[in-house]
Chains A and B, each alone.
Chain A
Amino acid sequence: MKPIPPDSVGLVTPARLRFAKPLALASGGALADYEIVYETYGTLNAEASNAVLVCHALSGSHHVAGYHSADDKRPGWWEHHVGPGKSLDTRKFFVVACNNLGSCFGSTGPASINPATGRAYGPEFPMVTVGDWVASQARLADRLGIRKWAAVVGGSLGGMQALQWAIDYPDRVAHTVIIAAAPKLTAQNIAFNEVARQAILTDPDFHEGRFYDHATEPRRGLRIARMLGHITYLSDDIMREKFGRGLRGGKLNFDYQVAFEVESYLRHQADSFVGHFDANTYLLMTKALDYFDPAGAADGNLAAVLAPVKADTLVIAFTSDWRFAPARSREIVKALHDNDLNVSYAEITASHGHDAFLMRIPRYVDIFTAYMDRVYAGLTS
C-alpha cells in the first residue's frame, strides 16, 4: 500500500464500551443492554475541555479518519477534515466519533444478538431517533470523562444530531457545527426515503427482517435504495459533468445491459453497498431521518424549541444541495438568531450536491478551519 500521508491520524483501532443501564427510547421501548463502538483521535487535555464529537450520517460510522490497517485502501469517511493541521486539528482537539445505535458497524443494532432471545434482533430492534442517539452519546461522554464538548459537529443526519445536542444538553455543548442539514425533512425528502424502504421491504429476501436466519439478505432492495439515495445526493450539474450521456461501450446496444456511464456508476455504487451495509439498519436510519423534527413538539416553532440553547453555532450549506437545500439551513440560522444566539452561516458554492459535505472543497475547509480555530482560541484564552 501507499505510505500513510503525514496529515492523517494514521493507524487507528476502534474501542468498545458496554452500557448495562437501560436506555429509554422515544418510541416508548428501551434497550436494556448495549454496546457502543467508537474511535478517538488526539489527546484529551487535563481539563477535558478540548473534546469534539463527530456525529455520522445515514451510512457513516465511527471510522471518521485514519486507517484500520496498513492494507486499508481507504481512510475514514471524513479524512479530509480530521487530522493534524486539518479543520478538526488532532494536535489541538480530542476528536471522538461514535457509531450510532442501530448501525451495522459495531454498535448494537439489528444484526446484533438480542440477549433476551439469543438470536439476532432483526425486526425486534427498536426504532431509534436522533434524540435517542444523542442520549446514548451523552452516556459515552460520561464514560470518557467529558463533561462538556468544545464542539459537536456533523453533516446531514450528523448535523441534526449536533442540533439535538444543543437543545437537549445546553450546558454540555460550547459550539455546534451543523453542515448540510435541515430542521426537519420535507414531504419530498420523506418520499424518497419511503421508496427506498419499499424497495427493501418488498424484496422477497427480506423475510420480514429475519433474513439473517435464512442466510440471505435483500440485495435487490438494498441496491435500489442505494441507487435512489445516490441520485439525490448528487446534483444535476455534477452528474452532467461526471457522466453526461457518455456511453460505456461507445454505442447503444439495444438491450438492458449498462449503456450509459451513469448507469454503470449507479450499479457500482449499489454493488459496493450491499455486502457491507445491513438492510434493517438502512430502514432504521431513514426512519430516524423522517422522524427528526425538534420543533414538532412546539407546533413547528423552531425558535421556541431552541430557547434553551447556549452553544455558538456555525451552519454550512452547499449551493447545489437539493436534498438539504441552503434554504433549510437558513431555517436553523433564523431560529438561532431569533434567540439572539451567536450563529454564523456560510453558503459554499459547490456543484457536488448533498455529497459536498464529504468533499475537500477549499472554501469549505477554510471556513470550517477558521471556526474551529476560534473554538480552540476560546479554550486557551
Chain B
Amino acid sequence: MIPARVDFRIIGDWIRPGSRVLDLGCGDGSLLAYLAESKGASGYGLEIDDAHVEECVRRGVNVIQTDLDAGLSEFDERSFDYVVLSLTLQAVRYPDRLLREMLRVGTEGIVTFPNFGHWRTRWQLGVLGRMPVSAALPHEWYNTPNIHLCTLLDFARLCEREQIEVLESQVVDHAHRPRLALRLLPNLLGEIALYRFRRARLP
C-alpha cells in the first residue's frame, strides 16, 4: 500500500473502525479506499467529474455521480457515522447549507479546506495587492473553482452561528505535514485546516 497522505491519516485517526462514511467530492476515491483498508470503513463517495468516477469504479469504491450543489436530499437522516468534505467546501455554492446537510445525513462531519488566512495568502493580497496563488490554492482568480474561501476564524464563526460544535481540529502545511509551529499560530501558518464537528447539543 502507498503511504497515505497525512490528511488521510488524520481523518483515519479521527474515525471509529467499521464506520459508515459519506465522502462528498470524493475525487478518485483514494480517501475512501484508505479508510476501507485501514479502518474497515464502508460507504459512498459523491463525485461530479467523469474521470474521477471511473477511477473510483476501477478501485472498487462506491461512487455516485452527482452535483453537490443539488444537495443530499436522497440520503436519509443519520444514515452515516461521518460525512466528509475534503478540500471541496470552498468550491460549493452554499457552504452553510451543505454543512447543515452534512449534519442531517451524518452524526459527525469532517471538513478540510485551504486556509485563506495563511501568511503567504495575506502577503500576496495585503502587500502585493494580488489575488493569492499557492500550492494549496493553485488557480488564478479567473479560472478558480474556489468561490467561497475562508480562514480558520471565519470557519469557526460559521460553526458558532450554525450551532456546530467543533470536536477536533488540526492544521497542516500544503504537503499535509503537521508542524509544531502550526499549532501555535494556526490561522497564520496552517495551509490546510481539518475539522471534526457535530451538531451542538443545546443547553
Give the B-binding residues of A (Cβ under 8 A). Answer: 314, 330, 333-334, 337-338, 340, 342-347, 349, 363, 366-367, 370-371, 373-374
- With beta carbons under 8 angstroms apart, the residue of A330, A333, A338, A367 that contacts B57 is A367
Least Cβ distance of B76 to chain A in Å? 7
Q: What residues make up the interface of B, taking CB atoms closer than 8 Å to A?
A: 20, 42, 44, 50, 53-54, 56-58, 60-66, 74-76, 79
Which of A333, A342, A344 is most buried by chain B, counting CB atoms within 10 A of its CB? A344
Residues of B contacting A: mostly: mixed
> B74 — which chain A residues lie within 8 A by C-beta?
330, 333-334
The SS class assigned to the A binding surface is: helix
Bound complex: CA A338 to CA B78 (Å): 11
Contact, CB under 8 Å: B76 / A338: yes
For A337, list chain B residues within 8 Å (CB). 44, 62, 64, 75
* Most chain A Cβ neighbours within 10 Å, of B54, B57, B64, B66: B57
CA distance A363 to B54 in the complex (A): 9
Q: Do B64 and A333 touch across chains, with their CB atoms under 8 A apart?
A: yes
Complex CA–CA separation, A345 to B76 (angstroms)? 18
In chain B, what residue has the closest Cβ to A327?
A: B74
A342 to B62, CA, bound (A): 6
**Is the Cβ of B53 less than 8 Å from the Cβ of A346?**
yes
CA distance A337 to B44 in the complex (A): 8
B65 adjacent to A340 (CB under 8 Å): no
B123 to chain A, nearest CB (A): 41
Q: Are B54 and A344 in contact (CB under 8 A)?
A: no
Chain A residue at smallest Cβ distance from B45? A344
A344 partner, pick from B42, B62, B76, beta carbons under 8 A = B62
Bound state CA distance, A349 and B65, in angstroms? 11
Question: B58 near A370 (CB under 8 angstroms)?
Answer: yes
| Complex contact A343–B54 (CB within 8 A) | no
Task: Check A314 against B65 for contact (C-beta < 8 Å).
Answer: no
12 A-B pairs in the complex with CB atoms less than 8 angstroms apart: A337-B62, A340-B42, A343-B64, A344-B56, A345-B64, A346-B50, A346-B65, A349-B50, A363-B54, A370-B57, A374-B58, A374-B60
